Structure 1
């Protein structure tokens, strides 16, 4: 089931710490580079970042967040500190959410609009 992010308080402009803002920038870049439906980025336990775009092939479909997590794991990551997804969707996809939770029970997953505006954060 898709997760709805916790929205910012009415009238408040949500702010991210610098490291999480970088994830949103990387996710926007990954999405724009290939004109994908969504982009995502994750940061591992060592501060390394991995960005990816969604993949939709006849034989393979991955969300951007699934691919970013897979890239991190392939590089040796064992834990994630945070993640960000840039999409026109207003909810976080269940598959990407599950992939992050495989490595981090409480890492924040930030959902942002294509222009980088933070829509909310999933922490569960």
Structure 2
């Protein structure tokens, strides 16, 4: 994480804390164009399934955000193609998505 900006490091901390607090498979955090942050965890209910990134995007859209500067997602897997597509729908192409394990150790950066 040493090559991350201080603002992106904050997203890692938020995603890690949200995942740990909820015990979810994934935690995510998103920073919008105004610098506001949104953190979310995977939702797995019998009648509702939403990815952690999907939760963050939905919160940002519901708050009136016009785009995203960066996203962090922590869990065992890289972000799903559906999450990257939703991010492009919301914020356009070119948003960095930092992916890492549950502890917050980043393993890759994708561009939406």
Q: Report the Cα distance in structure 1 between the residues aligned to 2:2 and 2:10, rounded to whole angstroms.
A: 15
Partner in structure 2 of residue 31 of structure 1: 19
Partner in structure 2 of residue 99 of structure 1: 86
Unaligned runs of 5+ in 2: none
SS of 1:15's equivalent in the other structure is coil
Unaligned runs of 5+ in 1: 1-12
SS of 2:18's equivalent in the other structure is helix
Partner in structure 2 of residue 7 of structure 1: none
> Cα RMSD over matched residues?
1.2
Q: Pick from 77, 96, 106 the counterpart of residue 108 of structure 1.
A: 96
Partner in structure 2 of residue 120 of structure 1: 108
User: 1:88: Cα distance to partner?
Assistant: 1.4
Using the size of structure 1 for normalisation, the TM-score is: 0.85
Matches within 5 A, 1:28-107: 28-89=16-77, 91-102=78-89, 103-107=91-95
* Count, aligned residues: 111
Q: Which is greater in Rg? A: 1
